[in-house]
Structure 1
């Protein structure tokens, strides 16, 4: 099979396209021929071994694919619990695959299986969004963010505020339903300026829900903007910078909450993935949810895809074509 393999940790330069033997399905698994593979920001952490779970070399990154099972023409989108997605052939348990409606493209499906389910659970499971509440979506033009903005509006958020690093990205977030946008660069030197900008975007009031994946000053500024009973859900650390420690007294004295989210924990409860995917696929097929596709790269351009992610040049979902 043709695949992207890492034999050393580092940046995009460690991603090599190689020929390897086809994987062998274990008990309960099937072999799938891949039509398209998804690229996620988390993959850049995997490449440099800075993610939540330690990585073992050699490895094939990637956790999602669209393809067909050997001997079948049915198109499915699948989640790979052990990685291996950057390849033209994968093996996985059919329990973590979902049949695709005709109205959902490969690229749209790939935007749902990790990023869509993350957005779904951040709002439903982690922060328990209540209609009328204000929601801040960090990286509102990204893979999770573009879907979270739409879902928050659909589920009755009173005001959705998105952050994005360029005028074009902020315009996209507003097109998808954000009521206001903020430049996260305000937090680089002064978290207080970022706090003030979020409150201004919310009509001067503190915010109820924050979906946060940057860390560092962005987290600190957003946490300070929370209203009493506000919740901030941390699901990434794109800045590679830790936020200030949150003291219990600061939570008690303001009735604020901090919750972490990692989709990997949903894999132990497959019904959590099924519920989200069933909802997301139906919304997409009906045209009620618009997954944003940021670009389709040949597998030979995988380094460029990672460079674009790290430089924040991309929007929406990035996809690899293993046939090229």
Structure 2
């Protein structure tokens, strides 16, 4: 089968199209004939071995696919890697049947990025009606869904940040009340101004570095920052427990795989609700571009350039 493999760690240049044997499902696993592959920012970290879970060479990246099971069901699957291929193996517990009326783009937007947005707002930040919500990278895969969910769930004011006028217009179209430049030198002041001079209640942040530090400084008493990535590859410098105590602030980290072990089928609940909202027309996926499997390097280059919006896909047929 055709696949993309990494044999040395690095940037997009290490993604190499290869021919590999078909995967063989083990106990409790299902073979999937892949229709589309989702590309996530975490894939870029996996390729350079900077992800939370260490990578081992050689590897086939990719954590999500849509496709058909041997019994003909159309599914979206969360994988333990090896998704950049024509066929993939998934644990049966990571399969979700795709409802009628939901396309591959939407299903793949939900399985990682939509579930992340759902968990950030529900479990990490505990959004309450009327609260202000800041969504950094609001035109991206997680951000574009988080903006919509926050509005659906009754946020009082949704403040989007993005790096271009086009992205900010998209965030407003998705329901944000205001959109500001993510390159603002003083993000603390920019967020407070966007919130009518008041401090903000919730920040969803996957940037890291100065953006995180200045966002924490913008939090209201009992405000929460949910941290789920570090696209800048820069660590925040100003997180200090004394400052959190002094301002009654909360900083919550969130790594999606942990949700799979939560009791009560939390991941399944997230997927069910996201699908229901999509079918009802209350939230939608944003297309970020589709590449052939052989063009995986271009997809990673686009993602790392921070110039993309929404969800990027790979087509394994080309």
Determine if the TM-score, normalized by the shorter chain, exceeds 0.5: yes
> Does the 8 Å contact 2:141/2:311 carry over to 1?
yes
Q: Tell me the distance in 2 between the aligned counterparts of 1:186 and 1:245.
A: 18
- 1:301 alignment partner, one of 277, 289, 295: 295
1:178-232: CA deviation from partner (whole Å, max 9, x where unpaired): 0011111114xxxxx1110010000000000000000000001101000000000
Match of residue 124 from structure 1: 122
Q: Tell me the distance in 2 between the aligned counterparts of 1:296 and 1:281.
A: 22
TM-score scaled by length of structure 2: 0.98
What are structure 1's unaligned runs of at least 5 residues?
A: 188-192
What are structure 2's unaligned runs of at least 5 residues?
A: none
Q: Report the secondary structure of 1:140's partner residue.
A: coil
TM-score scaled by length of structure 1: 0.96
How many residues are treated as equivalent by the alignment? Answer: 317
Match of residue 169 from structure 2: 171
Question: Runs of 4 or more off by more than 3 Å in structure 1?
Answer: none
How far residue 245 of structure 1 moved from its aligned partner, in angstroms, is: 4.1
Q: Tell me the distance in 2 between the aligned counterparts of 1:15 and 1:269.
A: 33
Match of residue 58 from structure 1: 58
Match of residue 273 from structure 2: 279
Match of residue 215 from structure 2: 222
Match of residue 76 from structure 2: 77
**1:18-57 alignment, distance < 5 Å:** 18-57=18-57
1:318 aligned onto 2:318: no
Q: Tell me the distance in 2 between the aligned counterparts of 1:307 and 1:2.
A: 21
Q: Report the secondary structure of 1:186's partner residue.
A: coil
Match of residue 151 from structure 1: 149
**1:250-265 alignment, distance < 5 Å:** 250-265=243-258
Range moving further from structure 2, 224-233 or 243-252: 243-252
Q: Tell me the distance in 2 between the aligned counterparts of 1:265 and 1:164.
A: 28
**1:7-18 alignment, distance < 5 Å:** 7-18=7-18
Q: Tell me the distance in 2 between the aligned counterparts of 1:213 and 1:276.
A: 20
